């Protein structure tokens, strides 16, 4: 095998490794609230699952567009999308939920360009999206925050 062919095959392998998509399991609600973490316990998941092939550099705005393709009612201008990563608690068998940002359909926002990778999403984590219609304000978080 020639040196040029070896280099080309090596480059091709590295390129494919760097751009390989992942299967993102997305769970949505139309209530404006995220799923409860206990809904992910003991191997269970909520029924509202979307499976999206994407990359770690996917932005929240890109993911919003993909969700809007599946849910026509979410296309209305002013619809609010709140994103959270659901991940296994390293100390136990439970899951944790981490809010990572939000987008609004038809508007530019500061979180639009945020990527999964920038929020430390790991392959195997879930993405939970709370969708709020434009005629309702997104609910305030009910979780306690440490001071």
Q: pLDDT tens digits, the chain, 147 residues: what are they?
A: 565 656 666 665 555 556 678 999 999 999 889 999 999 988 889 999 999 999 999 999 999 999 999 998 899 999 999 999 999 988 887 899 999 999 999 999 999 999 999 999 999 999 999 999 988 765 554 443 443
**Domain-located, residue 75:** yes
pTM of the complete model: 0.79
In a domain, 93, yes or no: yes
Query: Which residue range(s) make up the domain with 83?
Result: 27-44+58-136
CATH number, domain containing residue 80: 3.10.20.550
Our count of domains for the chain comes to 1
Identify whether 111 is part of a domain: yes
**Cα separation, 112 vs 75, whole angstroms:** 16
88 within some domain: yes
Query: Does residue 116 form part of some domain?
Result: yes
**Structural domain contains residue 64:** yes
On whether the CB atoms of residues 132 and 112 are closer than 8 A, the answer is no
């Amino acid at each position: 095998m020639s040196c040029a062919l070896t280099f080309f095959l090596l480059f091709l392998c590295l390129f494919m490794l760097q751009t390989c998509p992942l299967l993102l399991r997305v769970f949505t609600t139309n209530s404006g609230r995220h799923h409860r973490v206990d809904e992910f316990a003991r191997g269970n998941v909520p029924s509202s699952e979307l499976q999206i092939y994407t990359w770690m550099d996917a932005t929240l705005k890109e993911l919003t567009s993909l969700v809007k393709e599946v849910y026509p009612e979410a296309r209305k201008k002013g619809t609010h999308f709140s994103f959270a990563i659901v991940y296994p608690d390293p100390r136990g068998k439970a899951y944790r939920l981490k809010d990572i940002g939000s987008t609004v359909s038809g508007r530019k926002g500061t979180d639009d360009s945020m990527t999964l990778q920038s929020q430390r999403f790991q392959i195997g984590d879930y993405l939970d999206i709370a969708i709020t219609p434009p005629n309702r304000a997104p609910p305030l978080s009910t979780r306690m925050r440490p001071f």
